[in-house]
Structure 1
Amino acid sequence: MRPAFQARRRVLAVGLIGPGRVGSALLAQLRTAQSRLALGGLELKLCGVAASKRMWLDSDDPELNNRCDRAQTWRPSDLDEFAAHVRGSDGGHALLIDCSANDAVASHYAGWLAAGLHVITPNKLAGSGPLARWQAIHAACHGGMRFRYEATVCAGLPVMQTLRDLLDTGDELLAVDGMLSGTLAWLCNRHDGQQPFSALLREAHALGYTEPDPREDLSGLDVARKLVILAREAGRALSLADVEVQSLVPPALVGLPDTEFMQRLDELDAPMAAQLSAAHAAGGVLRHVASLDRHGRASVRLAVLPATHPFAHTRLTDNVVQFTTRRYCDNPLLVQGPGAGPEVTAAGVFADLLRIAEALEPRA
């Protein structure tokens, strides 16, 4: 007689797009968990890995990521061929994970879902891109197909799931406020006037906390994308152009080559010192905050917050999201924790995979 878990055996074919820092961390996590998941009746079958110019296809590899580093197994990348390979012809469950930051990849999501592939991504460009495309992606989620994107907002923190649970149980979102950038959180936490802001930014860059070009963090656009995703999850038809974004990059530094910008970081010191002084004069702290109010107004800015505000007590690269809802009105609901790094981002993607796997129809 077979063990009970074999009667509920679920097989999930998985294809990974984007084997960079997050993708590689995810493969390592999946490989480590593979035996444990199999004991619970879930068999993960890695069918391939696709990078920007090449892909690896192998549906018979007994160990996740066992052969991905062998050059002779790679071929020129073709996303249509890759998706068809992962989907297979046996009618089994199949899933694509997009760990790229590529808008062209995101344009395939609706088609993949319609073709019978679940999709998971930490790629923010789908959720914050054209509203019509976002709507088409969700419209393609029929017949049990699922699109999950927890890691697009705060890496591994359960922000999207919390919001989804609130709404699904009949709550109403009134407002959302958050510190959605681990990089800017770290800079605000460290910016106390003891060191010039430029010195802190150079340190963050050396530690790998910033993007290769720190202006991508300082511009606030990445945070604005995350706010758009949260708003759309709550049913608001918000687009990136609707968000009022305060950039921390002085106009004179916007169009410079990367190397020249890094050489002129000292030009950030005076304006940032002035904002810090204003915060201290008001008895508050300076924090980088994204906000969506009950009227749909959205903004991303440096804000002076009272020292008693929950955001005043964040640490290191903490992300924190505050949901003000009909139920959580007088005492808003907070989700807080590390919101940056490949390991925690990969864990958020992994959690989405497990949620989808739990809903799969078992096979005897």
Structure 2
Amino acid sequence: MTKDIKIAIIGVGGVGKAFLGQLASYIKKNSSTVSISVVYISRSSAALISRDYAPLPLTTFVSEELDAAGTAPLAVPDLIQFLKSSGKESILVDNTSSIDLASTYPEFLKAGIHIATPNKKGFSSEESLWTAIFSAAGNNGGSGGYVFHEATVGAGLPVISTIKDLVDTGDEVTKVEGVFSGTMSFLFNEFAPVGASGAPKAFSEVVKIAKDAGYTEPDPRDDLNGLDVARKLTILARLSGLEIASPTSFPVQSLIPKPLESAATSQEFMDGLPNFDADIGLLADEAKKEGKVIRFVGSIDVPSKAVKVGLEKFDISHPIAGLKGSDNIIAFYTKRYGDRALIVQGAGAGAEVTAMGVLSDVIKIVARIK
């Protein structure tokens, strides 16, 4: 019997567009075993709605089609009712970073609607929301929909699934350490590369290179404040069994000079950043004299319940020191693996790999649907 599944997609930015393309290919390849219809596509200001539940065309022109449709997005209760009225299993794909939408996940799950998302906000905000999501979800034997969020940490890298497999099979995670931000990885691989010769680049110069290349957020302060890494650490710490109140409940080092925290615009911040190059340059020089490099990392020490995010020195022979480009590296130390960590490494950012992580979660849900 062919499974019949309806999908609602919210968010058609870089990740959303990449996801649409990958989903279209998956549907075409698996049409003989599963019938998947995308019946709702929206962004903040417009929506495409298939009132008769016929599949919407998955084209590269979705943004233009949304503009032409002139239809407002459905409110959450109406979207839940729309999906339930199909009489079929349904999946919400949230490709946004909206805390408002993430806060409604328990409502979707209680209604039996499954969720696949790269949105970190629902899993790294207040602990009460984390508890509400997984209390409603069917992942742990409950009656609600399934929820998967692989791409909330490491994009398409198998980070969430790895730590869940370790914990679910009875292993005990003792420490997690790594570079969790593609942006921060690129910045410090450029700023303090291993074996570099010649005059080093100033930190402000590297930030500008990264910004111009699209590696940072439009306002680089959204990367340099360390909160993105803190959210990822919050998720992994909770999966390791720690009770973490929020991403601001443990030490997070910000690389934004205090006088520039209140800069009115991104450009004002960028213009002022060269005035503070000497500070971080001194740290890099000190590390170099010790045969080390500085990297922006996160770490979780489970026995001591210590979580922190910030700059650390690493010997040039250390795997973290040898990263290239915007790669992530996450090392899991456990009772079974001992001092020889289980390491996950690779591209940890980018629309295509993030969309792959979301699609893999959709496939997991499809496999679990009876």
Query: If the TM-score is normalised by the length of the shorter chain, which range does it land in?
Result: over 0.9
Q: Does 1:57 align with 2:49?
A: yes
Q: Percent identity?
A: 36
TM-score, length basis structure 1: 0.93
Name which of 321, 335, 350 aligns with 2:330: 321
Q: Secondary structure at the match of 1:187?
A: helix
Q: Partner of 2:320 in structure 1?
A: 311
Residue 278 in 1 paired to residue 286 in 2? yes
Note if contact 2:332-2:343 (Cα within 8 Å) is conserved in structure 1. yes
Q: Which residue of 1 aligns with 2:229?
A: 223
Partner of 1:4 in structure 2? none
Moved more, 50-59 or 69-78: 69-78
Aligned match of 2:121: 125
CA displacement at 1:359 relative to structure 2: 1.0
Counterpart Cα distance in 1 of 2:155 and 2:7:
20
In structure 2, list runs of 5 or more residues that go unmatched.
193-198
Check the 8 A contact 2:40/2:56 in 1, yes or no: no
How much does 1:241 deviate?
2.6
Question: 1:247-269 deviations in whole A, cap 9, x for unaligned?
Answer: 11110010102221111120231
Amino acid paired to 1:336: Q
**Secondary structure of the residue that 1:190 maps to in structure 2?**
helix
Give the equivalent residue in structure 2 for 1:345: 354
Contact 2:136 2:144 survives alignment (8 Å): no
**CA-to-partner distance for each residue in 1:9-46, whole Å, 9 max, x for gaps?**
2122110111111111101111122210213x122110
Instruction: Give runs of aligned pairs for residues 1-364 of structure 1, distance below 5 A.
Output: 7=1, 9-39=2-32, 41-58=33-50, 59-61=53-55, 63-65=57-59, 68=62, 69-70=64-65, 71-80=67-76, 81-90=78-87, 92-141=88-137, 142-143=142-143, 145-192=145-192, 194-238=200-244, 239-257=246-264, 258-294=266-302, 295-361=304-370
**How high is the TM-score relative to the length of structure 2?**
0.92
CA distance in 2, matches of 1:162, 1:307: 27
CA–CA separation in structure 2 for the residues paired with 1:183 and 1:67: 29
Q: CA deviation at 1:75?
A: 1.1
Q: List per-residue Cα deviations over 1:60-87 (Å, max 9, x = no partner).
A: 1364348843344341122322232233
User: What is the Cα-based RMSD across aligned positions, in Å?
Assistant: 1.5
Unaligned runs of 5+ in 1: 1-6
Within 1, Cα distance between the matches of 2:228 and 2:331? 18
